[in-house]
Amino acid sequence: MILGFSLLSVAIWLPILFGVLIMATGGDRNAPLARVLALLGAILGFIVTIPLFTGFDKTTSAMQFVEIHDWITRYNIHYHLGVDGISVLFILLNSFFTPLVVIASWKVIEKRVAQYMAAFLMMSGLINGVFASLDAVLFYVFWEAMLIPMFIIIGVWGGANRVYAAVKFFLYTLLGSLLMLVALLYLYNQSGGSFSILDYHQVAIPLTAQILIFIAFFMAFAVKVPMFPVHTWLPDAHVEAPTGGSIILAAIMLKVGAYGFIRFSMPIVPDASRELAGVIIALSLIAVVYIALVALVQTDMKKLVAYSSVSHMGFVTLGLFIFNSYGVEGALLQMISHGFVSGALFLCIGVMYDRMHSRNIADYGGVANKMPVFAAFFVLFAMANVGLPGTSGFVGEFMVIMGAVKVNFWYALLAASTLVFGAAYTLWMVKRVIFGAVTNQHVEQLTDINGREILVCSILAAAVLGMGLYPLPFSEVMHVSVSDLLVHMARPKL
């Protein structure tokens, strides 16, 4: 409790209020003030979420830090917040990234600074709302509302083809969301007039209806993950988004989709989930293998990392739908790790882009000669992307593969192929960009990263290494919630 408000409410509304405040600073004359306010809001936003972790009871799968008020009594909708071992980590991850994004955009964004910073802070609060909502309508409101700032961020501060990317991003996600809304309304009737997600976990639903609901949820969540074949918005959005937008998109927003599978699809329609797991696994494996091959041929660094994200998220959905604790916990760890790693990679690409105004691999070569400190960080993050033991990338992938072996050898084999392909596309890019002789005079003029950039990179490097060497604090938080989820799922709900 802070000043009588519950922690989760503060985690949601504090960044949003700061966002409003920053917008009120107005035009670019007040840009320094906007930046300082944004940093203050982001850091405060992170600090208020720390008690969520330290005060978290790891021995129960029940919802904690619960807050419930009447909201729309006409439809029995409540302002109902709470976290369990699955969602708490994502709130932390999100709040952790907001200050980093603010620092990373400190000098880079020069036009309409206040609006940019405000959009990020508001989005941060809204994403916390998505992870904390236990009421379906409240969830939906946060889920949709976060599209608005992201749409503006891509469209205003993005690259050349930004309008196309922004509109595609918005319409893709809106389609899925609206279908989910119909599924939620059906559940409202089926449950006798409740919008509580926890009530939905207990409602009996016939198999045909379960399958239809699963498909509706799938449309919403698969687009966000994104899964093959609805992933095509992601490379466009990533390439055109400004660095901060890419970081949040990769590190946080993709996790929202996978979180939806865990919070909605799996517990609400467990029978349909089991029934259709084969399809999801197949799509996941296609993503893992095929998208990795697509990544191999990219000439644009951001596109390469974007496809790499799709491939890694394939791992996540694979882990979720093999329904054992290795798989699900591995998937969750992979989500967090991927947040750190992909965020860091986009940040590094942003650092180079700010200096060279190019994302083309061909325009680079021998960067290590001119930017040795930067090169060290970049190689570390690339190795984490590959899944080198000792980095965070290893833990999740290893657990998912272990889980997959228990189910089917071939799943595991195909999934493990990513270790080869991932190494291929990542290291080949590193070789062409970082190593070798200096290829052209633009590279010759590069200057190494400054203190601000070193700070952000070091924080992320510490996170990547820390999680890789000692993942226990992460896994023990989720352990009870995951095993209870699996027990819940094993019971038929027809």
Closest to another protein by CB, 75 or 470: 75
| Secondary structure element (H or E) that encloses residue 82, with its range | strand 77-83
405: amino acid identity, one letter: V
Considering only 65-73, 223-231, 357-365, 414-422, which stretch makes contact with another protein by CB under 8 A? 65-73
Going by C-beta distance under 8 Å and a sequence separation of 6 or more, which residues neighbour residue 51? 7
Instruction: Compute how many other C-beta atoms are within 10 angstroms of the C-beta atom of residue 45.
Output: 26
Q: Is 67 in the site for another protein (CB under 8 A)?
A: no
Q: Is 72 in the site for another protein (CB under 8 A)?
A: yes
Q: Is 131 in the site for another protein (CB under 8 A)?
A: no
Q: How many amino acids of this chain bind another protein (CB under 8 A)?
A: 36
CB of 141 to another protein, least distance (A): 4
Closest to another protein by CB, 23 or 66: 23
Instruction: Compute how many other C-beta atoms are within 10 angstroms of the C-beta atom of residue 192.
Output: 9
Among residues 47, 62, 171, 490, the one that binds another protein under rule CB under 8 A: 171
**Residues, the chain:** 494
How many angstroms separate the Cα of 38 from the Cα of each of 44, 112, 116, 119? 10, 13, 10, 10
Q: Is 141 in the site for another protein (CB under 8 A)?
A: yes
Among residues 166, 250, 262, 352, the one that binds another protein under rule CB under 8 A: 166
CA 432 – CA 316 distance, rounded (Å): 29
Among residues 43, 44, 181, 402, the one that binds another protein under rule CB under 8 A: 181
Q: Is 44 in the site for another protein (CB under 8 A)?
A: no
Q: Is 75 in the site for another protein (CB under 8 A)?
A: yes
Binding mask 183-222 for another protein (x = CB under 8 A): --xx-xx---------------------------------
Instruction: Compute how many other C-beta atoms are within 10 angstroms of the C-beta atom of residue 451.
Output: 6
Among residues 163, 279, 362, 420, the one that binds another protein under rule CB under 8 A: 163
Q: Is 33 in the site for another protein (CB under 8 A)?
A: no
CB of 357 to another protein, least distance (A): 20
Judge contact between 339 and 255, C-beta under 8 A: yes
- Longest CA span, the chain: 69
Q: Which two tokens stand for residue 407?
A: 């189910």
Judge contact between 176 and 222, C-beta under 8 A: yes
CB of 77 to another protein, least distance (A): 8
Q: Is 74 in the site for another protein (CB under 8 A)?
A: yes
Judge contact between 115 and 461, C-beta under 8 A: no
CB of 493 to another protein, least distance (A): 20
Among residues 44, 68, 145, 455, the one that binds another protein under rule CB under 8 A: 145
Among residues 3, 59, 69, 73, the one that binds another protein under rule CB under 8 A: 73
| φ, ψ at 352 (rounded to 5°) | -70, -40
356: amino acid identity, one letter: M
CA 82 – CA 11 distance, rounded (Å): 12
CB of 252 to another protein, least distance (A): 19
CA 5 – CA 143 distance, rounded (Å): 22
Residues that bind another protein (CB under 8 A): 26-27, 71-75, 112, 115, 137, 140-141, 144-145, 147-148, 151-152, 155-156, 162-163, 166-167, 170-171, 174-175, 178-179, 181-182, 185-186, 188-189
